[in-house]
């Protein structure tokens, strides 16, 4: 594998993690978004699914975001009879977003992004050293 291939693989990995971070930020921003009418569904957490993709020009497997799917887990109920979305018993369906899980996913995505950035920086340094040797 040459250095330009390493740069391409890392760039695609960074792009996939950027999309993942965007989805995580959306989940966190909506973790308190309940429905506005009784029985209305609140915000549903979304997750990112990755897939390998063959880059035919380079002959390399790279990562991409295959799709962003809704999390099918149940909505937790919160007792809040004053909420306009409360059912007849006073319970409101809350989003199925767990802030702790989102923060852990965010940390993992950030570390993966950082690892890809380190590969890019190392590849760039090797390219610079190679050019310096050829002078």
**Predicted local confidence at residue 1, as pLDDT:** 60
**Is residue 9 a contact partner of residue 60, using CB atoms and an 8 Å limit?**
yes
Rounded to 5°, angle at Cα 90 from 87 and 94: 70
Tell me the per-residue pLDDT of 64-85, one tens digit each, with 9 for 90 and over: 999 999 999 999 999 998 888 8
Exposed/middle/buried for residue 74 (C-beta within 10 Å: 0-12, 13-18, 19+)? exposed
- Domain extent listing, the chain: 3-134
**Predicted local confidence at residue 12, as pLDDT:** 93
Confidence label for 52 from pLDDT (cuts 50, 70 and 90):
very high
Parallel/antiparallel/unpaired status of strands 46-55 and 60-70: antiparallel
The backbone torsions φ and ψ at residue 98, rounded to the nearest 5 degrees and listed phi first, read -110, 115
Confidence label for 38 from pLDDT (cuts 50, 70 and 90):
confident
- The answer on pLDDT for 124 being more than 70 is yes
**Is residue 71 a contact partner of residue 44, using CB atoms and an 8 Å limit?**
yes
């Amino acid at each position: 594998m040459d250095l330009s291939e390493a740069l391409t693989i890392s760039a695609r990995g960074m792009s996939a993690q950027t999309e993942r971070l965007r989805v995580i930020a959306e989940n966190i921003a909506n973790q308190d978004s309940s429905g506005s009418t009784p029985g209305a569904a609140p915000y549903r957490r979304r997750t990112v699914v990755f897939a390998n993709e063959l880059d035919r020009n380079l002959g390399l497997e790279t990562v991409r975001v295959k799709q962003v799917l809704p999390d099918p887990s149940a909505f937790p109920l919160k007792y809040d009879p004053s909420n306009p979305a409360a059912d007849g018993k006073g319970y409101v369906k809350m989003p199925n977003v767990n802030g702790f899980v989102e923060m852990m996913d965010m940390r993992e995505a950030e570390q993966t992004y950082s690892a890809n950035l380190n590969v890019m920086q190392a590849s760039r340094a090797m390219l610079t050293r190679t050019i310096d040797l050829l002078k």
